A and B are shown apart, each in its own frame.
Chain A
Amino acid sequence: MRSANLTPTVQPAWLRLILGAVVALLGLVALGGPAFAQEDEGGSEGATESIGGTLQTKGEDGEKIFLEGVTFIVLDAGGSEVGTAESDAEGVWRVDLPSSGVYSVELVEATLPEGNALRNPEKNPLEGIEVQPNTNKNTLFPLGEREASDNNTNRVAQLTVDGLKLGLIIAICAIGLSLIYGTTGLTNFAHGEMVTIGAMVAYLFNVTWHLDWLGDWMTSLAFGAVMAVLVTGVLGFAFNEGVWKPLRKRGASLIAALVVSIGFSIFVRYILLYQFGGRAGFYRDFRIGQSIDFGIFTILKKDLFIMVFVTLILVCVGLALQKTRAGKAMRAVADNRDLAESSGIDVEKVIRLVWIIGSALAGLGGVMFGMTENINWEMGFRLLLLMFAGVTLGGLGTAYGALLGSIIAGLFIQLSTLILPGDMKNVGALVALILILLIRPQGLLGRSERIG
């Protein structure tokens, strides 16, 4: 049994600490100002849904040629025109949509430069494109000669890669969730907001503030990501010191703590909405990007970077948990808190470390998530459910279980689109969560014990 009571003394000072944490958070957000509202001049920047793509073909030596001046017409489900766009010098075109839904896109073949033809003319207009809320859908019109289509293997490989990417992002966000649960027993529903705050801090540096008095590097996303990690790390520390430590000291029950975390989740989420508005934002220079063709799948360069980078971070975290004193202490506390405490481990110190590292990783994960999709006020909350699915899949409270479960959840989400329509892909992961609880409630890597 895990006991939440450390010392039964009441700390009257902790109200001040709670208020301090709230004021600090408000202050941070207030600095942000009406961030997204300033991004109007870009035209397409403000819309939350759009369809677009990059029209390109290969030259004789296999180099990329982007086609300019080709017209695209977007029609809604009823067949009426939503908008048109011409591809620019980099082959990029985009049409803003009034809402999510099903659309079709027609490439006006007469505007194609001479010597180019569609590979699949029967797929023009391209119909039944499902655009989910707050997404920028990319469509592909392959040019050139018709290939023997082994479409199905292509699609499975492509979805596997996409799923791996999503799974890695869920994993980096979920490690903190799992470690916090393991060391304190708290099911932290406010963890998703750390993800959002991380993404938004990077956005402030990358887009809103234009701070370049020390050079251009200050507006780069790399610097934004570093700041995001710092801010979320500090917030995690403050959150633990200001809220959770006093609650633990008072001997508050885990259920009360769970309800408190839900309260913080909704409070912070709506402060973010209040400050940033309901629209989506994008990091500069990371909207579309070039892709690399691996034959059976293609991957955007930024996505490849994300996958390699997150894998590196996760390997580092794994090594740290396995080899360092602090990492061993964390696993010990997660495993058996009382035993760890009685063998001389400073449990409060370990918990503090877990909060800092877990929150910082969530912030970093938020930046990665923001690079692949977009940045909005409830991105973290939407990811939270997937994190729970991953963490429960792998076994609540185990660090490696969180990794494995998250990656499986990511794969499951993407591969489920083979059967489910795209806008219901998250349903796949949530259903998997329920099924796993039926069959193996302790999770894949959890120890088999009575949990009820």
Chain B
Amino acid sequence: MDYQAIIESLFRGLIGERFIVFALAAIGLNLHFGYTGLLNFGQAVFMAAGAYGLAMMVATVGPRLNENTGLNMSETTLFWVGVFTAVVVFPILFALVMGIPTLRLRADYLAIVTIAVAEIFRIVARSPRFDWLTGSSDGLTGFSGTFYDLSPFSTTGRYFFNLFTGNQFFLVLVGWTILAIGTTICWLLVRSPWGRVLKAIREDEDAARSLGKNAYSYKMQALILGGMFGAVGGMVRAVGFSVAQPDNFITDVTFFVWVALILGGAGKVFGPLVGAALLYAVLDSSDTVLRQLVENDYIPSSFMSGTQVGQVRFMIVGLGLVLLAAFRPQGIFGNKEEMALDDR
């Protein structure tokens, strides 16, 4: 047994790239569900919007724009235009598509439509018909160069107790900075009058409406803003792994975000951070432990093979969702009065 690898995976889960991606997505979902009560089961599509918004602008749309309009934008310009598309344009677009038909209806309609939109995006992105735009099932690569050119760290060295390579460490540092800014924004927002209206809508939409608040508009704003956080998460994922693939954003990804949020406590500013860190510490270390057990024949290969190890984490997430929602809907640190997955 390689204990060092297990401890490393534990710490990478606690602070590494995946934690950052899912913490950002969970901050967005916290605005949706924790503060406004929106049942968004399509957070994966906002993440995909972030990944593809950047990747398409740099790798496919941008070069075509340059060719056809003679704008001649450099790759660096395209990268920053891509970041803007990913974080602002796409989330607004997707939120409008999801929100306009459903935000006036009962909560579960939003759940169905968000899953549907996530699936529509994935099917379209996978289609060979749009290979020129999305790279179909192989996805897009070669869009993260500009980001890593900014890195002050050597690409060959190891950083932070040998946990990360230079590029990874740069991504993690930037990710943590974004997380800190995002959490602060979220904290300021939910304490503002705007945030108090969101909570009022969550507790009793009719009451909020009777006080003259335009609940539909507030819900839409929350959907867009939370979607932007999800998009930043997806963008970090795409840059971190240097690829944007449709199957990185399957519906199950959304459920990971939900577990992270409920685990940490919905409706708490630090809930998403705590939840995502715990979730990925558990998932990544259990993954490594299981792999080691299989490799060293402590678990017979007839019972579990290498590929089956990867499926165990989905079972943990599914069972975790069941147990949390049934027994501790307020999460580990949440407060029962504040958030108990109530009807609203």
Contact = CB atoms under 8 A, between A and B. Distances in A.
B116 A253 contact: no
Contact of A256 (B106, B113, B123, B325): B325
Contact of A263 (B115, B117, B318): B318
B150 interface: no
A254 B126 CA distance: 34
Interface in B53-110: 97, 100-102, 104-109
A437 B113 contact: yes
30 contacts: A4-B343, A22-B319, A101-B128, A187-B108, A187-B111, A253-B341, A253-B342, A254-B108, A256-B326, A258-B39, A258-B111, A259-B341, A263-B318, A263-B319, A264-B322, A266-B318, A267-B314, A267-B318, A267-B321, A388-B116, A392-B109, A423-B123, A423-B129, A424-B123, A426-B119, A430-B120, A437-B102, A437-B105, A437-B113, A441-B101
Interface of A: 4, 18, 22, 77, 99-102, 130, 187, 247, 252-260, 262-271, 273-274, 385, 388-389, 392, 421, 423-424, 426-427, 430-431, 433-435, 437-438, 441, 451-452
Nearest to A451: B106
Interface string B260-273: 00100000000000
B336 to A, nearest CB: 13
Contacts of B258: 259, 262
Contact of B314 (A101, A252, A262, A266): A266
Contacts of B255: 262-263, 266
B26 interface: no
Contacts of A385: 115-116, 119
Contact of B127 (A258, A424, A434): A424
Given A434-B101, A437-B113, A259 B120 contact: no
A430 B314 CA distance: 26
Contacts, number: 144
The 7 closest A-B pairs by CB, nearest first: A267-B318, A263-B321, A263-B322, A266-B318, A259-B325, A270-B314, A437-B101
Contacts of A438: 100-101
B182 interface: no
Nearest to A130: B128
Contacts of A260: 321-322, 325-326
Contacts of B166: none
Given A262-B321, A267-B319, A385-B116, A423 B128 contact: yes
Given A388-B112, A392-B112, A434 B105 contact: no
A264 B318 contact: yes
Interface in B238-259: 252, 255, 258
Contacts of A423: 123, 126-129
B311 to A, nearest CB: 5
B326 A252 contact: yes
Nearest to B342: A253
B107 A255 contact: yes
B326 A247 contact: yes
B314 A427 contact: no
Nearest to B325: A259
Nearest to A382: B119
Contacts of B320: 263
Contact of A265 (B101, B318, B323): B318
Interface in B186-229: none
Contacts of A431: 120
Contacts of A268: 318
A100 B138 CA distance: 12
Contacts of A256: 325-326, 329, 340-341
Give chain B's interface secondary structure class: helix
Give the interface centre of A101, A257, A263 by most chain B CB atoms within 10 Å: A263
Contacts of B117: 430, 434
A13 to B, nearest CB: 14
Contacts of B312: 270, 274
Contacts of B124: 424, 427
B319 A424 contact: no
A327 B41 CA distance: 33
Given A263-B319, A273-B311, A451-B105, A255 B342 contact: yes
Contacts of B100: 438
A422 to B, nearest CB: 10
Contacts of B129: 421, 423-424
B317 interface: yes
Given A255-B343, A259-B341, 12 more contacts: A100-B137, A247-B326, A253-B343, A254-B343, A263-B255, A274-B315, A392-B109, A421-B127, A423-B123, A433-B113, A434-B113, A452-B106
Contacts of B319: 22, 263, 267
A69 to B, nearest CB: 33
A389 B109 contact: no
Contact of B116 (A257, A267, A269, A389): A389
Contacts of B105: 437, 441, 451-452
A42 B2 CA distance: 41
Contact of A427 (B123, B128, B343): B123
Contacts of B41: 262
A271 B322 CA distance: 15
B308 interface: yes
Contacts of A269: 314, 318
Contacts of B116: 385, 388-389, 430, 433-434
A250 to B, nearest CB: 8
A270 B315 contact: yes
B112 A270 contact: no
Interface string B123-148: 11011110000000100000000000
Contacts of A22: 319
Nearest to A437: B101
Contacts of A427: 120, 123-124
Given A256-B326, A424-B129, A266 B321 contact: yes
Nearest to B129: A421
A271 B344 CA distance: 33
A259 B321 contact: yes
A274 B314 CA distance: 10
A256 B344 CA distance: 11
A290 B196 CA distance: 66
